[in-house]
Amino acid sequence: MNASRVEAAPGGTSATPSGPLVRFAQRLSKLKPRSRFAASFGFGALASLAMPPLGAAPVLLVSFPGLIWLMAGVRTFWGAFGAGWAFTFGFLLLGLYWVPVSMLVDPAFYWMIPFTAAGLPAGMALYHGLALAVWWRLPFSGVGRVIAFAVFWSVAEWLRGHLLTGFPWHLIGYAWVDWLPVIQSVSLIGIYGLSLLTVLAASLPAAWITPWGRSLPGLGAWLIGLAVIAGLSIWGGFRLSTASNDVVPDVHLRLVQPNIEQQDKMNPDLWPDNFRLLLGLSVDPGTDAEASPPSHIIWPETALPYLVEQDENARRALASIAPAGGTVITGVPRRIGDGDDQRFFNGMIAVDDDASIVATYDKHHLVPFGEYMPFSDWLPLRAIAGRRFDYSFGPGPQTLAVPGLPPFSPMICYEVIFPGNVVDADDRPQWLLNITNDAWFGRTAGPHQHFAIARVRAVEEGLPLVRVAGTGISGVTDAYGQIRAYIGIEERGVLDVELPVALPATTYAGIGDMGYITIAIVLLAVAAATSTGRRQKFDQSPSN
């Protein structure tokens, strides 16, 4: 059969392609398997430019239609899987390039750099490869096919964020983090819901411009998709217009960012010097002469990388800088038990001016291979971060009560990336505290992405966020995700800040991902209703 003949698609497309975009879509559809695989990878890498810190969201209007046009020429299930996997691999490979930087801290792990650089994105891309292969196999057509594409992509994101401990990093919705009116929608539908609507709006040009010609229904659907994003932006702008600068009275926080390199932080010979540096910064007069004296001082994750609870001198040193009636909150390792029964935790403690520990918290969502070794019975390797023991899991999200502070939800580092799992739903806090150590990742995109993700948690929950990092980024945002104060990467200093007030519980705080799930089901029903029951494809010579 002639490879140049095209099958007329239902829904208003013409039988003869015309126009440069239509011809471009046709050429993509006719690519051979190897070229399709490479093009899919390229479109995925392009999509990564939409994410923080670049935030070039309009590139999604090219990358997602490009993938759909490529997949119009696929002839087998595994060909569809390969295209979807290659796109996502390119997307994650570029977006997560900073992950193997942590291996540079310890020369013993240099040999693992290629595996972490490619293995993580390759594994995470399996979700999308399988989801898009299933989408390709189902009999959606016309506008419905593109709508279904967005749903299946978002389902893969949701699965990636939940299965095998989850890794919900680099979700498409984060492309809007600096577009504050749009990001307000996560207070209703969460980041997964925003990702779904973003992929839908970005993909619908492929329902208007197809390898079979132009489609008026597709154009109409795309305009509706853009109208949805515009509507979210208008609603978000109105929400932002009601924001105030109100702060919690009598709460003055000092955030300490010591900017100690990871190698120096791990060196026991330098621990006394590092401790003195933290103590000095905590009592420094600061640069703002009008700032109120701090009522509480906050240090980053594992600011003191040893067992402070068993070290009376260290506790007394902390008490010496604790404000009267206030506390020093710091990340430390914690040990419970003795001998064979002892367990270690990546923890947080609050020490008052009497050297008493008035609150503790243990991290519950640990980093696989970094803080514990999965399948350790079969993989007797020490954790990638260089520890010779695994941390134990804490009990889960909790609300801490510390004298002089509104109740807060503590999160250590990685825990802040999990939507819907950052507060105790039965004991709503008044703010979020995220202490972290991003020094592992140097001056890369990683700390920027981490801070962006944390800001979205604030909007989802309607709670202000305080973030204290070892080498950056530290800062405070209000419950709308607006940055109130900020210390950049590899800067040493302190922030003297007031605590923004909390908002009433958001819709998302009440229903979690049910909003996203409802939208996904409705869109899938619309996709089925607008399809004819036969899949659009290019009639070409047999290939993958």
- Please spell the DSSP secondary structure of 368-418, one letter per residue: BTTTB-TTTTT-----TTS-SSPPPP------B--TTS--EEEEEGGGGGS
Mean pLDDT, residues 269-289 taken together: 89
Joined tokens for residue 293: 């004296």
The answer, yes or no, to whether residue 12 has pLDDT greater than 80, is no
According to DSSP, the residues that pair with 495 across neighbouring strands are: 255
- Count of positions (residues) in the chain: 544
The 10s digit of each residue's pLDDT in 349-396 is: 999 999 999 999 999 999 887 788 776 666 555 544 444 568 999 999
CA distances, 39 to each of 137, 287, 333 (Å): 21, 52, 47
Averaged confidence pLDDT in the chain: 90
The 10s digit of each residue's pLDDT in 143-176 is: 999 999 999 999 999 999 999 999 999 999 999 9
Mean pLDDT, residues 27-43 taken together: 96
Full set of structural domains in the chain with CATH: 20-241+513-529 (no CATH), 247-500 (3.60.110.10)
Residue 336 backbone dihedrals phi, psi, to 5 degrees: -125, 130
- Please spell the DSSP secondary structure of 480-533, one letter per residue: TS-EEEEE-TT--EEEEEEEEPPPSPPHHHHHTTHHHHHHHHHHHHHHHHT--S
Joined tokens for residue 242: 């009601």
Looking at the annotation, which residues are catalytic? 301, 363, 413
Nearest in space to 462 (alpha carbons), one of 425, 417, 430, 494: 430
Mean pLDDT, residues 265-278 taken together: 94
The number of helix segments (H) and strand segments (E) in the chain equals 16, 13
At 82 the pLDDT is 97
User: Model confidence at 32, in pLDDT bands (50, 70, 90)?
Assistant: very high
By three-state DSSP, how is residue 345 classified? strand
- Please spell the DSSP secondary structure of 220-244, one letter per residue: HHHHHHHHHHHHHHHHHHHHHHT--
**What single-letter amino acid sits at 56?**
A
Query: CA quadruple 130, 90, 415, 504: dihedral positive or negative?
Result: negative
Judge residue 336's burial from the number of C-beta atoms within 10 Å of its C-beta, 0-12 exposed, 13-18 middle, 19 or more buried. middle
Mean pLDDT, residues 457-473 taken together: 97
The one-character DSSP state at 156 is H
User: Percent of the chain beyond pLDDT 90?
Assistant: 79
Q: Which helix (H) or strand (E) holds 349?
A: strand 343-352
Nearest in space to 175 (alpha carbons), one of 3, 46, 77: 46
User: Model confidence at 289, in pLDDT bands (50, 70, 90)?
Assistant: low
pTM: 0.92
Could you tell me the end-to-end alpha-carbon distance of the chain, in angstroms, rounded to an integer? 17
At 86 the pLDDT is 98
The residue whose two tokens read 């941390």 is 391
Cβ(533)–Cβ(527) below 8 Å: no
User: Model confidence at 3, in pLDDT bands (50, 70, 90)?
Assistant: very low
Residue 210 backbone dihedrals phi, psi, to 5 degrees: -130, 165
The answer, yes or no, to whether residue 521 has pLDDT greater than 60, is yes
At 114 the pLDDT is 81
At 44 the pLDDT is 98
**What single-letter amino acid sits at 370?**
G
Mean pLDDT, residues 529-537 taken together: 70
The 10s digit of each residue's pLDDT in 205-229 is: 999 999 988 988 999 999 999 999 9
User: Model confidence at 440, in pLDDT bands (50, 70, 90)?
Assistant: confident
The 10s digit of each residue's pLDDT in 234-264 is: 999 999 999 999 999 999 999 999 999 988 9
